[in-house]
Amino acid sequence: MTDRIKFLREQSLNAVNRISAERAELVTGFYQSGIDREVSVPVTRALTLQYILMHKHLCINEGELIVGERGPAPKAVPTYPEITLHSLQDLEILDTRPKVSYKIDAETKKIYREKIIPFWQGKSNRDRIMRSLPTDWHDAYNAGIFTEFQEQRGPGHTVAGNKIYQKGMLDIIDDIHESYTKLDFFNDPHALEKQEELKAMEIAANAVIMYANRYADELEMRARQLGSQDSRFRIQDTCFTSMQTTSGIGYQPSELFELAGICRHVPAHAPRTFHEALQYYWFVHLCVITEVNPWDSFNPGRLDQHLYPFYKNDLEAGILTKEKAIEILQSFWIKFNNHPAPPKIGVTALESNTYTDFTLINLGGVKPDGSDAVNELTFILLDIIEELRLLQPGSMVQVSKKNPDGFIHRALQITKTGFGQPSFFNTDAIVQELVRQGKDVIDARNGGASGCVEAGAFGTEAYILSGYFNLTKVLEITLHDGFDQRTKKQIGLHTGNPEKFKSFDELINAFKVQLNHFIDISKRQQHYCADLC
């Protein structure tokens, strides 16, 4: 790796995971205006995103080739009080956890104590949902049947498809305007709701453009200052430092102007180059995970497929070398490692300890026509995975009978080093699974796995996850005729005393009855969430 990448990698590895109050404070200030009582929920959320992107701190790390951070600095993690609210006890737990801690300074605790908690107590999405749920759900939840219920997350995630590589935000706004003209307020009872959603989409698209232009302005200003002053200057209002001050490498004014030009073009317009495509995705990524934390799993999906046309065209045009492409990709890779997962609350803050944001980049697999999708960029990305050896992003290979043996052997060489990446998934099985679900075969071939192991059609669906289900606890309930030994409540059905069962099949049948009972309770909860959210 180059000296630039060595520096950025070390900066990422050495950065301290900490909680930033910036987003929470901005969101609180915005909602205090009462705007949510004047406009629809979708428009409120879009205006919230616009406000955050307009006021959030701009972070430009020394020498990076992809710009933008979720927080004010690498590994500065935001919180989402409008979704679920961290208590002071939660913050203390996170700060003092022995292995996977999030450091919290006195000023952040003060902001939470004086501003965030007083405003959001009882008003968060989680609070409103919990108040609406029936007693049988609360009994099951308190017993441990359900876990991870909106504990600092939205109720699902998705994976980017290829639309952003074909259309800029201005093109998408044109599509929105076209959709406006198709609204039928006479015959469609949902037309007004659709109109509000379209309004929100337009606000959000313009907000992303505005955010990128803020970076372009900042980079141009830095370039002019760097060209007219000693390069050892430091600007205090961002985390930007000329690289010569610490690393000895140095940013050239031309590099900053080039980055500014990229930010000026994307995401307003469709990307033209390899570098623009990566920066475009990163702006989209940042804005998605800034607006709402989507179950920790938003990611670019099949990166080698999306980027290969840009890579190939840039090489042929002579505007990109393989070495430069690798450096840009490595800078992009490091950005993911700068983003630990936002921490949870309550019992999950105490017991669920991970920094992993579950971004899972897919490599290999098949093309839409079913042929082998492995290309030169696939192997370059495998080289990057092996060389950088970072916790994030997660990576996997989609293995199909159409793929060459060399692809599988190369992935195995990395895995056998003990790094734990990439993981292996059967593409042909994923396609079959998605087609059996009723999805189009082209969408299925364009899909893959995301998050932990969820299979889906990338760019065309969302993964709605409303909590984990504790099957072992259901078995325990079954063994006590529906009675929970911990909460001392009858939370399940009376399915009989297992001591009187005459066969193992009777136990299994009783277990299935209890399981269906709790599944029904969980399903009702999901409908409550859909209505309230």
* CB-based contacts of 498, cutoff 8 Å, min separation 6: 478, 479, 481, 507, 510
Task: State whether the Cα torsion 269-273-275-281 is positive or negative.
Answer: positive
Alpha helices in 389-503 (DSSP H): 405-415, 427-436, 441-445, 471-478
For residue 529, which of 185, 167, 83, 46 has the smallest C-alpha distance?
Answer: 83
**Cα 25 from Cα 186, distance rounded (Å):** 42
Q: How many CB atoms lie within 10 A of CB 33?
A: 11
Are 258 and 265 within 8 A, CB to CB? no
**Cα 429 from Cα 215, distance rounded (Å):** 43
Q: What one-character-per-residue DSSP string does 110-173 give? A: HHIIIIIHHHHTTTSHHHHHHHHS-HHHHHHHHHTSEE-SSSSS-SEEEB--SGGGT--HHHHH
So which residues are the catalytic ones?
452, 454
Give the CA distances from residue 532 to residues 7, 293, 296, 526, in Å, rounded to whole numbers and listed in that order.
46, 18, 22, 10
**Cα 78 from Cα 72, distance rounded (Å):** 9
Cα angle 525, 147, 486 (rounded to 5 degrees) comes to 105
Q: Is 66 exposed, middle or buried (0-12, 13-18, 19+ CB in 10 A)?
A: buried
Q: How remote is the C-alpha of 6 from its chain's centroid?
A: 25
**Cα 52 from Cα 25, distance rounded (Å):** 10
**Cα 428 from Cα 117, distance rounded (Å):** 49
DSSP 92: H
* Three-state secondary structure call for residue 219: helix
* Three-state secondary structure call for residue 81: coil
293-304 CB burial, b ≥16 within 10 A, e <16? bbbbbbbbbbbb
**Cα 160 from Cα 141, distance rounded (Å):** 33
For residue 232, which of 222, 220, 223, 245 has the smallest C-alpha distance?
Answer: 245
